[in-house]
Amino acid sequence: MKLNTKLVIIMLSLLVLTMMTLFTLNQYSQNDLVNEIQESSQEISKAVQMSIEDLTSDAEFSRLNDYLHKARKKGINEINIINIEGEIVDSSDPDKIGKRHELNKLEKGVHAAPRHNGASILSQKPYEVVVPVIVGDEHLGYVQINMLLDNINNLQHANFMRRLFATGMVFMIGIALTIFLARRYTEPINSLVEDFKRVSAGDLSVTIPVDSKDEIGELAKGFNNMVEKLREREALEKRLYEAEHLSRVGQLASGIAHEIRNPLNYISLAIDHLKEEMLPHCAGAQRAEMEELADKIKEEVRRANYMVVNFMSYGRPLKLRHALVPYSDVLAKALPVLHDRLTEQRIRLEQRIPDDFPPLWVDQEMLRTCILNLVGNAVQAMPGGGLITLGAERDHDQVRLTFSDQGKGIRAEDLGKIFQPYFTTREVGIGLGLAITERIVREHGGSIQVDSTLGSGTTFTLLLPLERGPHEGNLETHEP
C-alpha cells in the first residue's frame, strides 16, 4: 500500500472516529440535559403547588422548610409566599416572614435576580420565578421562587469536558499513528542511507531485504538492482583486466615457448645421434640401461614439445584424436616418468581400478597430460612422503577418475582460482597445469571437481562421458 493511501486512510479514520465520538457524547449530554430540565421543572411545579396550598389554607405550620432541603439539590434556593398586600406570609427563610415586599417591583415570569451579598464570584447567576396565585376570580397573591441553575451548568460543563477529553484522545491516537508511521518509514530510510554510504565506500555485498510493497519496498528493490548491476560491472571490469593481463602474459609466454622448441628439437636429434653412435659400443646390461635412458629422454623431450605446442595454441580449440583405450594402458605409459620422483620422496602410489572397468573414448596423449599434471601436483604437495591413490569407477553413462593425495591441501579462498591460467601458489611453475587439465577435460565433454581439506589432502575427480556404440569392443590405440 502506498504512503499517500495510508495517510489518507489514517486521516479519514480519525475524522470518522472524531465525528462518531462527538455525536455519541452530544446525544448523551442532550439526554442528561433534558432529564435535568424535566426534574427541575417538576420541582418548580411542586413548589408552586405547595405554596398555593399554603396560601389558600388556614394551616399555621409551613412545609416549605422541609421541602427546601430536598429541592436544593435541584437548584431551588428559596421560596416566598406573598399575599395581595405585599406581605411575606410564608417563606423557606423564617427571618423573612412578616416582612413586606413592594408588589410593583415583582416581575412575573422568569428573570435574572441580583446576587446576594455573600455570594461567590464563581457562583452561577441566580434566577427568580414569580407566579401569581389566582383562585377563581380572586387574586390571592404571589409565589416567589429563587433558584440557581448550577446543576444544568455543571452538566453542560461536564459534557464539555467529556467532548474535550474525547477529542484529545482522538488526536492522541492520531499523533501515535503518525509517530508510528513516521518511524516505520524513517528507520528504513536511515538504514538505506547507511547502505548507500557502504556502497559508495566500495562494499557491494550490501543487500536490503524487501519487506513491503510501498515506496520503501520499491526503493529497496531499486537499490538492490543498482547494487547488482554494480557487481556485474565490477566483475566485468575484473574479467577485462584479467583478460588483458593474460593476453600480455600469454603473448610473452608464447614467444618464449616458441624459442624453447628449437633447443628441444636439437636435444631430440642429439639423442638419436648418441643412440646410433653409443649403443653399438655397449653390450649386455649396459646397452639395455643406455637404451632405456635414451628412450626416457626422448619421450620427455617429445612430451615437452607437445606441451609447448598446446601452450602456444592454448587460446585456440584443441584438436582431439579420440581412441578407445584401456585406462590401465594410459597409466602404464604416464606413471613410469614419475617413478624416480616418487621413489626419491618416499611416496607410494596405489591404483584401485576394477578389472571390468570399460575402455575410455579419449585422446590418449591429452589424458596422459592430465594424469601427469594431477599426479605431479600431488607429489609436490607431499615433500615428506605419503600415499597417492588413483581410483576409477563407472557411474551410469560416465566414468569417474579420482586422484587423492595426503598433502597439505588447498586453502578455501584458493579453490575458486586453481583452474585460472597462470595462477599458482608455488615459487616455481607458471600456473598452467590445472588450467590445461581443466580445458582438456571440458573439451572431452566432461568436468573436473576438487575436494580439499587443509592439512589432510586433496582429491581431484574427472568425470568423462562413456562412449557407446560401434567403437565399443574395437580397441584402437593412436600413437602421436
pLDDT at position 74 over 70: no
Beta bridge partners of 145: 79, 129
Which domains are present in the chain? 3-156 (3.30.450.20), 204-316 (1.10.287), 321-465 (3.30.565.10)
User: How do residues 321-331 score in pLDDT, each as one tens digit?
Assistant: 888 999 999 99
DSSP 281: G
CB 403 within 8 A of CB 363: no
pLDDT at position 75 over 80: no
pLDDT at position 62 over 60: no
Query: pLDDT category, 72, cuts 50, 70, 90?
Result: low
Distance (Å, rounded) from C-alpha 292 to C-alpha 314? 32
Share above pLDDT 70 across residues of the chain, in percent, rounded to a whole number: 75
User: How do residues 386-418 score in pLDDT, each as one tens digit?
Assistant: 999 999 999 888 999 999 999 989 888 888 888
Give the pLDDT score at 464: 94
Query: pLDDT category, 130, cuts 50, 70, 90?
Result: confident
Range with top average pLDDT, 120-124, 278-282, 330-334: 330-334
For all residues of the chain together, what is the average pLDDT? 77
Query: pLDDT category, 57, cuts 50, 70, 90?
Result: low
User: How do residues 293-309 score in pLDDT, each as one tens digit?
Assistant: 888 888 778 767 766 76
Beta bridge partners of 437: none
Q: Where are the alpha helices (DSSP H) in 119-214?
A: 150-200
Q: Which residue has the cell 548507500?
A: 196
For the residues 445-460, what does the mean pLDDT come to? 92
Give the pLDDT score at 367: 92
Q: Categorise residue 164: left if φ over 0, alpha if ψ from -120 to 50, beta otherwise.
A: alpha
Report which of 76, 78, 110, 75 is spatially closest to residue 91, judged by C-alpha positions: 78
For the residues 131-157, what does the mean pLDDT come to? 73
pTM: 0.45
Query: pLDDT category, 177, cuts 50, 70, 90?
Result: confident
- Which strand ranges, in their side-by-side order, compose the sheet holding 447-453? 347-352, 386-395, 398-404, 457-465, 447-453
Instruction: Write out the three cell numbers for 473.
Output: 569392443
Query: pLDDT category, 479, cuts 50, 70, 90?
Result: very low
Measured in whole angstroms, how far is the alpha carbon of residue 102 from the centre of its chain? 91
Beta bridge partners of 130: 109, 144
Query: pLDDT category, 114, cuts 50, 70, 90?
Result: low
